[in-house]
């Protein structure tokens, strides 16, 4: 457990520093990271990021002002607004991930097979 805790804290520190280099808070960067997978509703973002819906609105407002995300009407429910990455937002989260030096250095030590096994094991321990 100690090694897992250390790896998570190292990853978080790496992520936070890379986000700060782009003038983003960790919450803003985490939002971009979640949206990297797919657009999401405000409610699901708040749930995923474990924050209050009113806080999520502020985060999205600030990201939208920087043209990192945009709101769009849900295709399935016109009352729901989904949030999606813009091209600038996609580039920003890609830059953050590329600048995570400690994380990248550690992962670069693994072979392709070891990376695949690590991914498999993490999905067993932490299913999505």
Give bridge partners of residue 71 from the DSSP assignment. 83
- Tens-digit pLDDT profile for residues 10-44: 999 999 999 999 999 999 999 999 999 999 999 99
Contacts of 24 (CB under 8 A, 6+ apart): 32, 92, 96
Domain range annotation of the chain: 1-125
Q: In CATH, what is the architecture of 1-125?
A: Orthogonal Bundle (1.10)
pTM for the predicted model, two decimal places: 0.86
Residue 80: what pLDDT?
A: 86
3-state SS assignment for residue 72: strand
- Tens-digit pLDDT profile for residues 36-92: 999 999 999 999 999 998 899 999 999 999 999 999 988 888 888 899 999 999 999
Rg (CA), the chain: 16
Q: Assess contact for 31 and 68: CB atoms under 8 A.
A: no
- Residue indicated by tokens 């693994």: 110
Determine the average pLDDT of the residues in 94-116.
93
């Amino acid at each position: 457990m100690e090694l897992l805790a250390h790896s998570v804290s190292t990853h978080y520190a790496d992520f936070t520093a890379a986000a700060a280099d782009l003038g983003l808070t960790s919450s803003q960067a985490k939002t971009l990271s979640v949206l990297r997978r797919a657009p999401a509703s405000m409610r699901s973002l708040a749930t995923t990021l474990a924050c209050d819906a009113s806080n999520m609105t502020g985060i999205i407002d600030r990201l939208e002002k920087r043209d990192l995300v945009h709101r769009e009407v849900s295709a399935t429910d016109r009352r729901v607004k989904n949030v999606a990455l813009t091209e600038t937002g996609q580039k920003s989260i890609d830059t953050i991930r590329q600048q995570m030096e400690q994380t990248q250095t550690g992962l670069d030590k693994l072979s392709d097979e070891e990376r695949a096994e690590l991914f498999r094991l993490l999905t067993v321990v932490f299913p999505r």
